[in-house]
Chains A and B, each alone.
Chain A
């Protein structure tokens, strides 16, 4: 009886393994959800491997990975998280690199609301300004740095509504509940679409560069699909997709 159970279990395990062969489980920062969808398609066409993508806040992924989540590759919204994972033995040493550099925009769903100089921040005339929680998200940190550089942080902080990640900041602003918000350029400028509403591309000297790093996680070390994805992120095909969303490299 015990023997039979063992056989059954190992057969089951084998089935699970074959089902996953060629698959790589990727955790992706919310701001990179759009480009990653396209990269996954191109990746499957080029290599035959399939990338299963989970999107969310980088901080949450960090906590989950620390507690045994099965992710094999992380595309973070910052460079600190991959570094921390490597130091803690959860990432493969030397595998991290910057796959994209993010751009911060001040955006409103209303056309003409945000001028091309961002003067609307000084003029006021709005009740809510959506930003990501700076404790959790690099785009939130960049927004705070920008406001501090403009000497507006103190006067505007009572108007903040804090989003859990950049996707929620976009949602607060897109629904019009916050008149304007700091979001990622990649969210409002998907290739082939005209930008809705109005925006100010925040000059990059107002905030520290948003370097988005990826790292191969220990769970993916022995998975050829994970290794292939890391390589594919550096390919010209992937770079073209990343640039088309307004990221810099």
Chain B
């Protein structure tokens, strides 16, 4: 492992961690709304959240590059707010990753909320528990497996992100050169030995993460 490799590993973990925390904060209310609403907007919002599942990352990367650029409205907004332009920055990658990994976090949480059903919430309401109390002392603990799945998938999916980062990042060491881009660079430059180390590490990491997740979810739950 060279310093450059370590930089890329550290950056990737930071990006995936930041994205996961942000997605849990944003995704939980969204998933709660999707699980409980009878609004006709439910299917529209649900479809938008799922879009990154089917869109090629190049489409996302291309549009984000234009939207966040000096001519795009997001770019205008961030410049007015004094943040500056987002492409080629760590913050820009976080924004891109939040969109890219959104369905992997929102859907498991939404499924978990839906599985709780309304009976226990109604019982709690009849015992005069307020809506916030019901959410924090009943819904959240019961949905814990969903949150675990969401965090692991959100994190792992961001680690495995490539096309979007390539188009949005500009390959800056320590700032936007994540592991997948570093591997791509090594392969392109025919440094196959280096590429093997990193690629095999990535393969092993992804397998272990998914193995742990499936093993945990397969266990009979004890209530």
Contacts and interface: CB of A to CB of B under 8 A. Distances in A.
Interface residues of B, number: 21
A135 interface: yes
A128 B170 contact: yes
Interface stretch (A55-63, A142-150, A231-239): A55-63
A133 B170 contact: no
B189 interface: yes
Contacts of B185: 133, 135-136
A162 B170 contact: yes
Contact of B189 (A59, A172, A176, A177): A59
A162 B172 contact: yes
A130 B170 contact: yes
A177 B188 contact: no
Contacts of B167: 168
Contact of B88 (A133, A135, A161): A161
Contacts of B84: 127
Interface string A209-229: 000000000000000000000
Interface string A108-133: 00000000000000000001101001
Nearest to B67: A175
Chain B CB count within 10 A is highest, among A162, A176, A177, A178, for: A177
Contacts of A59: 188-190
A63 B186 CA distance: 11
A164 interface: yes
B121 interface: no
A97 interface: no
Nearest to A135: B189
Given A162-B171, A164-B166, A175 B188 contact: no
Interface in A32-62: 57, 59-60, 62
Interface of B is mostly: loop
A186 to B, nearest CB: 22
A63 B187 contact: yes
Chain A CB count within 10 A is highest, among B71, B88, B172, for: B88
A135 B190 CA distance: 10
Given A175-B69, A177-B70, A63 B170 contact: no
A163 interface: yes
A161 B172 contact: yes
Given A60-B188, A63-B188, A136-B185, A177 B87 contact: yes
28 contacts: A60-B188, A62-B190, A63-B188, A130-B170, A133-B185, A133-B188, A135-B185, A136-B185, A136-B188, A136-B189, A160-B172, A161-B88, A161-B170, A162-B170, A162-B172, A164-B166, A164-B171, A164-B184, A168-B167, A172-B87, A175-B66, A175-B69, A175-B71, A175-B87, A176-B71, A177-B69, A177-B85, A177-B88
The 3 closest A-B pairs by CB, nearest first: A161-B170, A162-B171, A176-B70
